[in-house]
Amino acid sequence: MKLLQQSMDPNQKRAKAVDRVDSVDTGVASFDSTRMCPFPDEVLERVLSLIDSHKDRSSVSLVCKDWYNAERWSRRHVFIGNCYSVSPEIVAARFPRIRSVTLKGKPRFSDFNLVPEYWGADVHPWLSVFATAYPFLEELRLKRMAVSDESLEFLATNFQGFKALSLLSCDGFSTDGLKAIATHCKNLTELDIHENGMDDLGGHWLNCFPESLTTLQVLNFASLNSEVSFESLEKLISRNKSLRVLKVNRNISLDQLQKLLLQAPQLSELGTGTFMQELISCPITDLKTTFSNCKNLVTISGLWDATSLYLPVIYPACVNLTFLNLSYATLRSGELSNLLQHCKSLRRLWLLDTVGDKGLEAVGAHCPLLEELRVFPADPFDQEVFLGVTESGFVSVSEGCPKLRYVLYFCRQMTNAAVATIARNCPDFTHFRLCIMNPGQPDYLTKQPMDEAFGSIVKTCPNLQRLAVSGQLTDRTFEYIGKYSKKLETLSVAFAGSSDLGMEYVLGGCPKLRKLEIRDCPFGNGALLSGLTKYESMRSLWMSACNVTMNGCKVLAKERPRLNVEVMKDEGGDGSEAHKVYVYRTVAGPRRDAPPFVLTL
């Protein structure tokens, strides 16, 4: 969300008179608004209410006071990318009619345990304000927020019309909180619980949905480990005929899945349970028929333990699939190849690297419309055995899938030449995230740094929005990035660079940069301070295990009062190093809820 214009008083009542700073008409006291703004407010609001994109809405709000007001009254959904960039009170004051909130909290590296526990991003202060300001709140989507059971109960009991809850990478709650949601939210349409740090105390929460609930459209509990009552689930599914998204957990067997799908052939997204069963009670052809009756299926995920024994049952549904998530299915190349031959319409594919380069050849051969590929490592800490995918698999995909835009690729070896080929084959990349798993590893053939690889990406792909680099990289990589990537918004760097210059290149170029996250690089205070004029146009900067000191951070904080410069104290060390630094723009001032180990300078 763009920084609020502090010159505009958010409490100003709606006024018909235009009150603009206009160098031509400074002497005019009142102004006929129809001259410059031909629409009555009601029409303007109606028109603006059709605009969904929050970026567009931010632009709209900057046109003039009239538009600012019309926009704020017509906005129904607010997106807050950093919960500390603004306070709930400010949001509530500016936007009186919000029905849907998306809120993101911790820095992304918290996903990898780089942010200590109890850092913050508690949702409760937000809920307290919303309870008064938005009693009719319908949707809440949280990512990397700290959420307690009490908060979930508060949410469930204070918002009568609440409909949709999505929790992604949050932590601090348990299935007890889910019980509260299921029990109290009579109009629930969506419950989407995805990969959170939560306590799974059992599957009883599912039993808390009342018999009267028939409005469910989305139910995702794939990442919960406890078994739920199948009887309850089946009844729930059968009476919620609007269900479009169902993602069950691994405990649901194939037999049970069969029964569920018979009740819900209208599903468009399915996450299965386990796809292996010793003795299946219905014939396999029944399962196949069931899948073929699901005419709306476009997404399949889950497929835990899937093998060639049962995988063919989904073939009838594959022809319409646009997204296939096999990232929890340890398939080999043969199984994947057989499967993909049925998946000509695939746009997005997530895989485990157990499929190997041969599996990726099959991807290139059978999925010409592919736009997104993610390859995850099955055994990221495997030391001894060489498994997984290499540069050649990636090249194969690029040859068969010229429309590739989004790639996340974990591998153990890569070459500059391969990446150059890939860039040539797929110039439309918007997201290029390459993770060579051994930190600082060079091109394994030439032994050169991987500078030219990323150079070729930024030179060849003008639409690049997101880049994650790895391997042995000198400052040259960053010189390329700063010089060529005009649309880059997010950059992730680890174990790279040679000197401050690296970071300076990036901060000096990349006009659209919003998020910069850096770990274990030799960038120091000079680099940090070179971004002095840039950080306010960015969402945030993360630097950990670099060469930044407290003094450098203090200088930054002093020069830029509208940034929060937070240093996370580390046990040990002499206190002069700034081990973890998180810098972000804010209109809310320094955090009032910072734990003792977070120092705001």
Q: Write out the binding residues for another protein, residues 106-135 only, by CB under 8 A.
A: 109, 111-114, 116-117
Stretch that binds another protein, among 237-245, 341-349, 362-370, 442-450 (CB under 8 A): 442-450
Do the beta carbons of residue 333 and residue 311 sit within 8 Å?
no
- Residue 197 binds another protein (CB under 8 A): yes
- Residue 227 binds another protein (CB under 8 A): yes
CB-nearer residue toward another protein: 218 or 550: 550
Stretch that binds another protein, among 44-52, 314-322, 341-349, 574-582 (CB under 8 A): 574-582
504 to 523: interface string for another protein, x by CB under 8 A: ---------------xxxx-
Q: Which of 172, 442, 482, 552 touches another protein (CB under 8 A)?
A: 442
- Residue 282 binds another protein (CB under 8 A): no
Minimum separation from the CB atom of position 579 to another protein (A): 3
- Residue 541 binds another protein (CB under 8 A): no
The rounded distance, in Å, linking the Cα atoms of 111 and 143 is 11
Q: Classify 30 as helix, strand or coil.
A: coil
Question: Measured in Å, how far apart are the chain's first and last C-alpha atoms?
Answer: 24
Note the helical H segments in 32-112.
33-36, 41-48, 54-61, 65-74, 88-94
- Residue 305 binds another protein (CB under 8 A): yes
Q: Which of 67, 577, 588, 594 touches another protein (CB under 8 A)?
A: 577
Single-letter amino acid code for the residue at 439: P
CB-nearer residue toward another protein: 59 or 330: 330
Note the helical H segments in 326-468.
333-340, 356-366, 391-400, 416-425, 451-460
CB-nearer residue toward another protein: 42 or 574: 574
Minimum separation from the CB atom of position 543 to another protein (A): 11
Q: Which of 26, 384, 592, 596 touches another protein (CB under 8 A)?
A: 384
Say if strands 580-585 and 540-544 run parallel, antiparallel, or are unpaired.
Answer: antiparallel
In Å, how far are 311, 312, 338, 379, 552 from 335, measured between CA atoms? 8, 9, 5, 19, 54
Strand partners, 466: 431, 490
Minimum separation from the CB atom of position 362 to another protein (A): 18
Stretch that binds another protein, among 89-97, 152-160, 221-229, 531-539 (CB under 8 A): 221-229
Report 127-186 residues binding another protein (CB under 8 A). 169
DSSP 83: T
Q: Classify 176 as helix, strand or coil.
A: helix
Tell me the torsion sign for CA atoms 167, 171, 176, 177: negative
CB-nearer residue toward another protein: 169 or 396: 169
The rounded distance, in Å, linking the Cα atoms of 341 and 326 is 15
- Residue 383 binds another protein (CB under 8 A): yes
Stretch that binds another protein, among 77-85, 423-431, 495-503, 532-540 (CB under 8 A): 495-503
Note the helical H segments in 205-340.
230-239, 254-263, 284-292, 315-318, 333-340
Please give the helix or strand (H or E) that residue 198 lies within, else none. strand 197-199
- Residue 572 binds another protein (CB under 8 A): yes
- Residue 580 binds another protein (CB under 8 A): yes
Stretch that binds another protein, among 30-38, 42-50, 323-331, 414-422 (CB under 8 A): 323-331
Note the helical H segments in 437-575.
451-460, 475-484, 500-508, 525-530, 550-559
Neighbour-count burial of 332, counting CB atoms closer than 10 A to its CB (0-12 exposed, 13-18 middle, 19+ buried)? middle
Q: Which of 24, 29, 50, 279 touches another protein (CB under 8 A)?
A: 279
Do the beta carbons of residue 233 and residue 260 sit within 8 Å?
yes
Report 241-270 residues binding another protein (CB under 8 A). 253, 255
CB-nearer residue toward another protein: 139 or 475: 475
- Residue 234 binds another protein (CB under 8 A): no
- Residue 376 binds another protein (CB under 8 A): yes
- Residue 211 binds another protein (CB under 8 A): no
Report 43-62 residues binding another protein (CB under 8 A). none
- Residue 473 binds another protein (CB under 8 A): yes
Say if strands 100-104 and 540-544 run parallel, antiparallel, or are unpaired.
Answer: unpaired
Say if strands 563-568 and 598-600 run parallel, antiparallel, or are unpaired.
Answer: antiparallel
Q: Which of 262, 280, 588, 594 touches another protein (CB under 8 A)?
A: 280
CB-nearer residue toward another protein: 258 or 425: 258
Q: Which of 7, 11, 212, 571 touches another protein (CB under 8 A)?
A: 571
